[in-house]
Structure formats: C-alpha cells, structure tokens
Structure 1
Amino acid sequence: MAKEWLAGAVPVVFIFLVFMGYNVGPFLFLAVIIGIVYFLIQRQQMMAGGGNKKKVSHAVATPKVSFEDIGGQERPKTELMETIDFLKKDDEASRYGIRPLKGILLTGPPGTGKTLMAKAAANYAEAAFVAASGSEFVEMYVGVGASRIRDLFKEVKQMAEEKNLDRGIIFIDEIDAIGGKREGKQQKEYDQTLNQLLTEMDGMSTSEHPRILIMAATNRKDMLDSALLRPGRFDRHITVDLPDKTAREHILSIHFTEKPLEEGITLADIALETFGFSGAQLESVANEAAIYAFRDRGNEITREHISKAIEKVMMGEQTDKESTAEEKKRVAYHELGHAIVSEVLRPHSVSQVVLVPRGGALGYVRQSPPKEQFLYTKTYMEEQIMICLAGAVTEEIYYGERSTGSKNDFDQAMNYVHHMIDAGLSSLGIVSMQHLKKEWVHEEANRILDTLLEQTKELLQSYDLVFQECYGLLLEEERMNGDRFRQLLTKYRAHVS
C-alpha cells in the first residue's frame, strides 16, 4: 500500500515544485540514486533468499543403472559395493566396530564412468538419490552457495523419509568447482560454500536416521582442499581410471550387444585398436560405427565402419579441406615416415596410414600397441620421440626443409623429453624440476633431440625403396591398413642397406 501511495504522490510533488518555480534537477538526481540502490538491495535479497521462494530440486528417481551395466572397472565397483554394504548392513558392521564411511570421492579422467558409478551405487543401496553439479553452488551473491548446500542435505533427508527409505546418497559432480584449495586470502563466496559443506559433513552422525552418504566426482583431485580430503569427510578415494584391454572388451560387449557385427570381427580386435579410450569414447565408437552402417544401408557393421568410427572419435569429423597436389605429396611422405619408424621400432604397431583430412590434421598414422604397458624405460621413451620426429625428418630428406605440419609432433616430442628429465632418465640424473635451472633443462632437451634426430635420419634414409613403393599407393588410395603396410615393408626390407 505504501509503495502505491509513494508512486502516486512523488510525481504530484515534483509537478507542484516545478509550478512554483523551484529547480528540481538535484531532487531528480537524488531520486534516481535512491531508486538504483533500492533496486540492487531488493535484487540481492531475492537472490540470497530465493531458495525459500523458488528452490531448485535436485531429487532424482532411484537410478535403474546397476553395476552389471558398467563394463570393466571391477576394482572400483567392488570398493563401492563394500562401502554401500556398511550402510545396508550397519548392525553387522557395528559388531566389528566399523564406523560407516561419510564420503566417497571418485577421481579419474573424463568419460570413465564416475557419474554412472554413483547412480549404480544409489541403485545398489536402495537409497534416496540427490545429484548436483559443483558449478550450481558458485554464485556472486554472498550466502547463496552455502544456503544451497544446506538445502541439499535437507532435500535428501526429506526424500528418504517420504519414500520410507533408510538411506540417502548425495552426489556432487565437479566438486573441484567449490572444493578448490583455499589460499588464505580474503574469504570469497566459494570459500563459504566449501565451509558449509565441511560443516554439514562434520555434523553427519553415523547413527542418525536416515543415514546419509556423500559421493563426489572430480577430474582434478590435485586441486581439492586438504580439509575436504582428510579421513572423517571423504574417507575413501576411488580411482576410476581408463580401462585396460580386458575392460575395453567388456565395455564394447555391452555397447555392441544389439548391433549387427559382420562375421569375423572380434571385440578383442576392436579393444586392441582403441588403446587409451575411455568408456564414453568406446560407447561413441559403437554408435558411430552403427551410424556409418546406416548411411551405407548395409545389413551389418563392417571393419571399415568400425575403423572410420575409431578415427572419428580420435581425430574428429572428416573435413572438406582441399589440399594442393604438392601438399598431399608432402603429407604422404610425412605420414610414411611416422609409419616406417613406428613399425621398425615396434613391430605390428601401425593400424592405419591415412591421407584423409580429419580435425586439424591433413593426414595421420593410427597406432595400436601390440601390448599395453604402464612403466616406460629410457629406450621406450627415446623410441617414442623418434616416432614423433620421423615426419619432420622425412620432409627434410625429400624436400630439404620442414613444414608447419610438424608442430604437434614437436610438442609431443618435447613432452616426452621433459618427462624423461623429470623421471631421472636423462644425463642430468635424478633431479627436481622445480630447483633445476631453465638453461640446464633447455640444453639437455636440445642434446636429447639432436641425438635422436640423427638416429631417425639414419634409419629413414636406409628405407628409401620402401618410401618409393608405398608412396604411390598411398597417394592413389589415400588409406592403407596396417597389414598391407607391413606386407610392403617386409617385401622391400630385404633391400634395406
């Protein structure tokens, strides 16, 4: 009522003052300032208290995903089920004096199935499930993030009570958005949000009803605040890593279940060619292969469809770049250089040599290591650097100079060199990169690269006949699979000097 009275009275007063001859300019200016301040205060109050007027629900129906639906990741699944059993069988656990865990942190690269794991855990636990992303709690207005954390805990308890469930799970994805390391400076809004999360976790009683379990996921565990990681908060840290060959085969079996594969294609072969792929990428390979078969109106998914799907997931969609004839010849020599060095140093490692542009590349060599390893020796690292340098060295041999097409190769080579130095595999010995002078690192990196460049050049110059024979075929067909390349390499290898 007062607002309506003011809205009607103020204009009348101004008109009267103007009629009486007063200068109303200063009054108008003051009124505008008061109006702006009032608007900002009202807006902040609405944002800070808006959770009471218009709450964002994070409640999710109990997920239908089970652990059987998740391919590979046997160890993380076992650890999760064990943790959930502490909730489900709390009486039995208490006999051993086991304190139920408060929090589980899932860490690992993107696309490895962390969110899927959380959903499967909620299904296995038969619990109320509330999910949110860390970015939802990041606000410029003071108190909003902390208020939403409180609402999250209230919501899962209310949901569990409504459904008559004994357990509730809160899942926070991308927790690094609110759980980053605090630097001791003036407190920011996300610091208050993190403090509220820590307070809520500390206030969780292991005997309260319903019992709550916090699950979170991140790709950057190293960025999280130590207060969040200590026991009593996130008690267990489970790594959901990239799948190995056996796990990839299991994942592929799930995604190819209802897809018509051509006879003779084995999932073991596809698993071998998808080294380093995440679960999400493997699902995409299966889907893209089916799309290629659909485009061709084929009855089955062929090897060619799968090969194209793998390349699309790795490199991106095929582009319409039109290379000049001279560029195409240079790229052919460049890629053959990579392929020859790779196959000579690591037999059966080349899967495809391609001249078709994809993503930002005009051509590429797809490699499939015959065996997977997780420890790398100095010799292995040097061989990997030589494979990276081979394209540029080939251009030098046949064109007398390098091109900008070698930039990504050099970036990879430098990464390997720095990794060698950091791991104590260089002539500098065991070092700390933090305390090492940049000039020393630069000199050692140049020494390693110069030595390996010479070795690569000597190797490639002895395979000139192989270049000449493969070059024409690759230009004509634009694609050569690993088996055919190996046949040509074996045929002309006898003439290698």
Structure 2
Amino acid sequence: MTKVKKDNKNKLPKAYNPNWLYLLFFAFIVLVFYINPVVKTKEISWLEFEQDMLSQNDVEKIVVVNKETAEIYIKKERLLLKKYEGVAKDTILSATSPQYYLKLGSIEGFENKLEKAQDNFAPQEKVEIIYENRTNWIETFSWILPFLLILFFWIIILRRMKPGSLGSSMFNFGKSTAKIANIDTKSKVTFNDVAGLKEAKIEIMEILDFLKNPKEYTRLGAKIPTGVLLVGPPGTGKTLLARAVAGEAQVPFFSLSGSEFVEMFVGVGASRVRDLFKQAKEKAPSIIFIDEIDAVGRSRDKANNFQSNDERENTLNQLLAELDGFGTNTGVIVLAATNRADILDKALLRAGRFDRHIYLELPTREERVEIFQVHLKPLKLEKSVDVNLLASLTPGFSGADIANICNEAALIAARKKKESVGQDDFNQARDRIVGGLERKSKIISPKEKNIVAHHEAGHAVASWYLKNVDSLVKVSIIPRGKSLGAAWYLPEERQIITKSQFLDQICAALGGRAAEDIIFNEISSGALDDLEKVTKQAYNMVAYFGLDEEVGPISFYDSTGEYGRLLSKPYSESMGKLIDTEVLNLITTQYQRAKNILTKHKDELEELAQLLLKNEVANKEDLEQILGKRKATELLQSED
C-alpha cells in the first residue's frame, strides 16, 4: 500500500491572530502606570535641603527641569554617610540619577533663597545650577491614552460587526455581503431535486440555456431577460428553485437576502447595490439572486412612507437604476423571490427590469405525489405506505408542509421504537400538523365532554346529508392544540366554488351549534371558530363574489390594496346596511336548515355522540355503520 505524501502547498496559511498585540498593549500600560520605576527619587522640602545637605556641603549639583523641579545630586563620597544609606541602596543608578528632587514655586524665588544660603560659601564651594527643558512622555501619553482606548474598542466593535481582517471591517460598510457560488463551489441541489413546478423549471432552464448558448438566441435579435421574479405562497419552492439554478448554472451565482441591503448607516444600502452589480458585471455572464426582495422593493407610495428620506427608498432607487438605467447591464440576470408581490413597487415590476413573472402555486395532487417521492427517499418505509393516498390526504399543502409531514412521521415511528415508517405514522403526522399535538391529559368535565361529543356529531351528521360538503374521514373529541374536538374531511381540489357549495359549507359548519341547541336547548361558546369562518364566508359571498340577489353582481374586493389605506369604506352607509342584512339572513337561513337536518336524524345524532363518548374517535367505517353509505346522487334535498 503506497503512502500518499502530504502536499503542504495546498494547506491554507494559519489565520493571523492579533490577540497577542492586545496583551502587549495592556502590559505596556501596566508597566507605565502601575509598576514603580527602577530609579527612586525622594522628594524633600527646602528646609531639609538647606540644613541637612546644602549647609553640610554635600550637594554636587542642582539641575532645574522645565523651571518646575530641582533635581539634587549628592557627592559620591558623601553617599557613604549613614544619613544617605537608604538612598544609596534604593537607587541602583545613583551615578547618573538624582537622589532627591525639590518642587519649585517660582524659579526666581528659588534662585534668591539659594543665593542667600550660599553667602558665606567660598566661590569653589558654591553649587553648580544647570537648567534643562525635558519632555515628559508619560504625562503626554496619559492624555493620549483615552483616545487610544476609544479607537481600540471601536476597532473591536467593527470586527464584531463584520468578519474579516482588521482593515476590511473598518472600510467595507458599503461592500456587498452577497455569497458567490462559482463552478467549483456550486450548490448540490439540481432540478432533479425540485419536484413539480414543471412550467417554472422550463422558464428557468431556458434562461440558463441562454447564458450557456447565447449565440443561438442573439442571431435572431433576441435580448437576454433582465430579471425573473418568483412569486408564490410560502413553502412552494422559490428558494429551492434558486438553489437548483445555482447548482445547474455554469456561471457565477450571487445570492443574498433583501434585508442585507438595509443598514443602520445612511447610504449603505445603495452602496451595496452598486458594489453587487459591479462584481456581477466583472464576472459576467452571471446571476444575482435576491431572496425576499419585498424587504427593499416595497412600494414608494407616500401613504405608506412617513419619512421624507427613507433609506429603503434610496436603496430601491439604486436597484432600479442598476436593473434598467442609463448604464448598460449586459450579461447579468437578476433572480428574485417574494410572497408579497402586491406590495412591490410598480417601477420594479415593469418590463425591462423583471421581464418574467413566474407564479408558483400550491401543488396539485399529481405534483404532491412527486414531492412525496422526493422526501420519502431517505426514509425506511413499510410496504403498506401508499404515496397516492398521502397525496390525496394533503390538499392545500405546500412542498415545505409535505417535507415536514415526512420528517414528523419518521420522528413518530422512531418514538415508537419501530424499524420502519408506516401509513399510520403519516396519518398521525398529518393530524398533528393540521390540528396540533394531542392533549389526552387535558382534564375535561363529563358535562363539557358530553357537549363536545354532540357538537362534533352535529357537524358529522349535517355534512353527511349535504351534497356539496367534502367527504368525512373521521370525528374525534380528543383535545388537540386549542380545539376540544374536530371533524376531519377529505377536501376536493377546486379552482372555483359555486353558490350551492358555499351554502352547504356554511350549513355544515353551523351543525355543531345546531346540535347543542336541539339536544340541550342551550348553546355554548364552543362554536366560536365555526361562527368566525361562517361570517367571513358569508361576507365574501355578498360583498366580494356577488352571489347575493339583493346586493347584486357587485364586488368590493380590493386586489390593489388601495382601499386599505382609506379611512372610509368604498360603499355608502345604505349599501353597508344592506350587506349586513343579507349576511345575517344568509347565516340564519342555513342555521335553520342545519337544525331541520339534525332534527330529522336526531336518533343517529345521539348514537354517534354516544359512540364518541365511549371511543373518543369515530372512523369512516363507524360513520357508515350508523349513518349508512353516503351517496351523492341520493342525498336529501328536502331539508332546504
């Protein structure tokens, strides 16, 4: 077996660690201010100097420093005397350093006193006086030190704010924070990992093909699209599709979030936009991906902006100029994603900036099958798992929701110590995600449990005999999340809803309250959620969809968001009263309809409620045993 020699050339150099410089800096401060100097000089008074030193002819010379301090040097032979014994030991550099010093009030007074004290001295015995001007570096450093400390801590803050070298963190506020993915460091996600979204993938792949083979398009005079906007509800795969583009593209890919343009400093956002497009143009052809572009591309309407000079608006203006301004922007495609396209600025959405708008909707049943197949690959499954059934049980689920169900099912199976994930685990995962966590430990009084059982049985019986209500799967009175019970339906995928379907749904939702009224001659607060949904549906029918005969084919729906900024409603008071009246009549009529159905099938209602009190759950087989087979062609219509 041959040994592979390690290539030291490919090793990255060790990162420079400046911590030892910080330690050295603080050590210097400690040495200067807290450690006593090696040379010790003792301060004395004039009287002590005159009587003990000057009169005894012990002084060799006097050095006056900056006309403030007099340094006194003792003769070498006199230092051997007993009175100088302590000074001689403490002073290591006694030959070159003064032994004492004297503070001077004024230089003239000191000279006069010194002259009077030496009146009786012989000329050769008088002490020599030397005048010197010195710079005290310690005092100078003491007032510079606070500024150095402020600069020092400011540099540390800047390093914390942005990783990188010391110099780059100080001056790179306006630099782009985009992460670049080159060919060598591209994303591992490809279009094979993106299930569904066939039309969106075709649009994106065409743009990638343009970047790879531009001559096939430019020979006919076509121009490369400037921008592509991905719009759709949360979890539909906008960011995943962008990752696939990064993995498939053979060009540099810049990715960042819209919030990274907005900073606490004025002008930073616009500067980062300029730097981002500058880098992209240098590496053209390239792709820029801006996730959640609504953070910076919000509409500049004055009604939404109370600031005269908003940093977000400046950033947006710079982004508009870079996308399609006076300068050329060839070879750079901007890919953006948002779930709030309604609040984006109109100038950002026009052709020439974002030429293509790709709408990603919630997946259909066939697309959910593909998404399940992708997320089920890493799981150990039982043979009983039916992917088609899972797709049927999850209408309205996004790709992220399906991924969550698969992961939750695996966690439930692992909690049960199972070797593989079964169909029942997926059903429990769906129930947990939709309804919340089961709370069997929640204490409910027998009276309340009886009310809940009849309430849920009312929903089940009313919906069973209504033609346009979704198929009922099971009924449960086990507390789950915030609810005390639930009726589980298998919704059909509809693109439009007719008036009769609306009415049947409202009637079924009022079945729980109607059952309480019939059985107990009293109603409770348990129907709050049902009443909220029913009221919204009724107002939608009357005010938005034009399904009411009295109000007529009029819609006050606001797709542009302009009504929301008005203080008044877009209709008169008389129209508002008419809408309220029709909504109330619609709800009361369907409530009476639900009571008629439950009164006719009161025995079945009681039987189902008792089954729920006994087992807490009634499956579809139990419902068919009590209520019979549900046939859409033979449903009762006489209760209308």
Residue equivalent to 1:217 = 337
Distance between the aligned counterparts of 2:592 and 2:388, measured in 1? Answer: 38
2:287 match: secondary structure: strand
Q: Does 1:366 align with 2:504?
A: no
SS at match of 2:332: strand
Q: Which position in structure 2 is the counterpart of 1:481?
A: 619
Look up the match of 2:609. Answer: 471
Q: How does 1:173-252 map to 2 (within 5 A)?
A: 173-184=291-302, 186-203=308-325, 208=330, 211-252=331-372
1:299 — aligned with what? 419
Greater shift in the superposed pair: 241-250 or 314-323: 314-323
The reply to whether residue 321 of structure 1 matches residue 321 of structure 2 is no
Bigger mean CA deviation after superposition, 301-310 or 58-67: 58-67
Distance between the aligned counterparts of 2:479 and 2:344, measured in 1?
40
Residue of 437, 445, 454 corresponding to 2:592:
454
| C-alpha displacement of 1:376 | 0.9
SS of the residue corresponding to residue 357 of structure 2 reads strand
1:9 maps to: none
Q: CA distance change for structure 1 residues 232 and 452 in 2, over 3 Å: closer, same or farther? A: same
Which of 384, 387, 398 is equivalent to 2:519?
398
Q: Distance in 1 between matches of 2:300 and 2:197?
A: 33
- Contact 2:459/2:509, CA 8 A, preserved across alignment: yes
TM-score (norm 1): 0.83
Q: Secondary structure at the match of 2:290?
A: strand
Counterpart residue number, 1:111: 235
Q: Give, as a single letter, the amino acid of the residue that structure 1 aligns with 2:509.
A: C
Deviations 1:49-85 (A, max 9, x none): 9683365453344212111211112111112212322
Q: Which residue of 2 aligns with 1:137?
A: 261
2:409 paired with 1:285:
no
Alignment of 1:342-361 (within 5 A): 342-345=463-466, 346=468, 349-361=471-483
4+ residue segments displaced more than 3 Å: 46-57, 154-158, 203-208, 491-494
2: CA distance between counterparts of 1:335 and 1:204?
A: 65
Question: Which stretch of the first structure deviates more once superposed, 88-97 or 54-63?
Answer: 54-63
For 1:136, the aligned partner's letter is E
Q: Which residue of 2 aligns with 1:77?
A: 201
* Residue matched to 2:17: none
Q: How far has the Cα of 1:301 moved from its partner?
A: 2.2
2: CA distance, partners of 1:220 / 1:117 = 18
In structure 2, runs of 5+ residues without a counterpart are 1-146, 163-167, 557-569
Partner amino acid, structure 2, of 1:281 = D
Over 3 Å counting, the alpha-carbon distance change for 1:491 and 1:276 in structure 2 is closer
SS state at 1:180 partner: coil
Q: Name the structure 2 match of 1:22.
A: none
> 2 CA distance for matches of 1:59 and 1:321?
52
Relative to structure 1, is the Cα distance of residues 204 and 324 closer, same or farther in structure 2, using a 3 angstrom cutoff? farther
Q: What is the rounded CA distance, in whole Å, between the counterparts of 2:599 and 2:385 in structure 1?
A: 37
Structure 1: which amino acid aligns with 2:387?
L
Distance in structure 1 (CA, Å) of the matches to 2:529 and 2:364: 26
Change (3 A) 1:277 1:430: same
Task: Give 1:348 shift.
Answer: 6.5
Deviations 1:254-277 (A, max 9, x none): 111232333333111111110110
Stretch moving more, 99-108 or 122-131: 122-131
Could you say which residue in structure 2 is the equivalent of 1:3? none
SS at match of 1:416: helix
How many residues align? The count is 448
Distance 1:221 1:469, change over 3 A: same
- Which amino acid is 1:117 matched to? L
Answer with 230-239 or 174-183: which moved more. 174-183
Say which of 256, 276, 287 aligns to 2:396: 276
When structure 1 is superposed on structure 2, of 387-396 and 102-111 the one drifting more is 387-396
| 8 Å contact from structure 1 (residues 156, 170) kept in 2 | yes
- 1:2-13 → structure 2 map (5 Å cutoff): none
Task: Report sequence identity in percent.
Answer: 38
1:263 aligns with 2:383: yes
Q: Aligned-residue CA RMSD in angstroms?
A: 2.9
Q: Hey, what's the Cα distance between the residues in 2 that align with 1:326 and 1:127?
A: 68
1:146 aligns with 2:270: yes
Q: Write out per-residue CA displacement over residues 290-327 of structure 1, whole angstroms, 9 at most, x where no aligned residue.
A: 11111111233233211110011212223453222222
Is 2:232–2:338's contact at 8 Å kept on the other side of the alignment? Answer: yes
Aligned to 2:571: 435
| Cα distance, 1:140 vs structure 2 | 4.1
Corresponding position of 1:18: none
Q: Following the alignment from structure 1 to structure 2, what is the Cα–Cα distance between the partners of residues 98 and 451?
A: 61
Are the aligned partners of 2:196 and 2:371 in contact in 1 as well (CA < 8 Å)?
yes
Distance 1:57 1:216, change over 3 A: closer
Find the aligned partners of 1:83 and 1:483 in 2 and give their Cα distance: 53
Does the C-alpha gap of structure 1 residues 323 and 132 become closer, same or farther in structure 2, counting only changes over 3 Å? farther
Hey, what's the Cα distance between the residues in 2 that align with 1:232 and 1:477?
A: 63
SS in 2 for 1:147: helix
Q: Which has the higher contact order (CA 8 A, sep 6+)?
A: 1
Aligned-partner Cα distance in 1 for 2:262–2:622: 55
Q: Which secondary structure does the structure 1 equivalent of 2:628 belong to?
A: helix
Which moves more between the two structures, 220-229 or 255-264? 255-264
Distance of 2:195 and 2:461 partners within structure 1 = 35
Judging by fraction of residues, say which structure has more helix: 1
Confirm or deny that 1:312 pairs with 2:435: no
Partner of 2:10: none
Q: Is 444-453 or 357-366 further displaced after alignment?
A: 357-366
**Paired amino acid for 1:390:** G
> CA deviation digits over 1:114-156, x for unaligned, max 9?
1001111222222322222222223343212212222332344
Task: Say whether residues 1:423 and 2:545 are aligned partners.
Answer: yes
**CA offset at residue 203 of structure 1?**
4.5
Stretch deviating more after TM superposition (307-316 or 471-480)? 471-480
For normalisation by structure 2, the TM-score amounts to 0.65
For the pair shown, the structure with the greater C-alpha radius of gyration is 2
* Pair 1:123-2:247 in alignment: yes
What letter matches 1:435 in structure 2?
A: Y
Measure the CA separation in 2 of the matches of 1:486 and 1:100. Answer: 60
- CA distance in 2: counterparts of 1:188 and 1:274, whole angstroms: 44
How far off its partner does 1:190 sit? 0.7
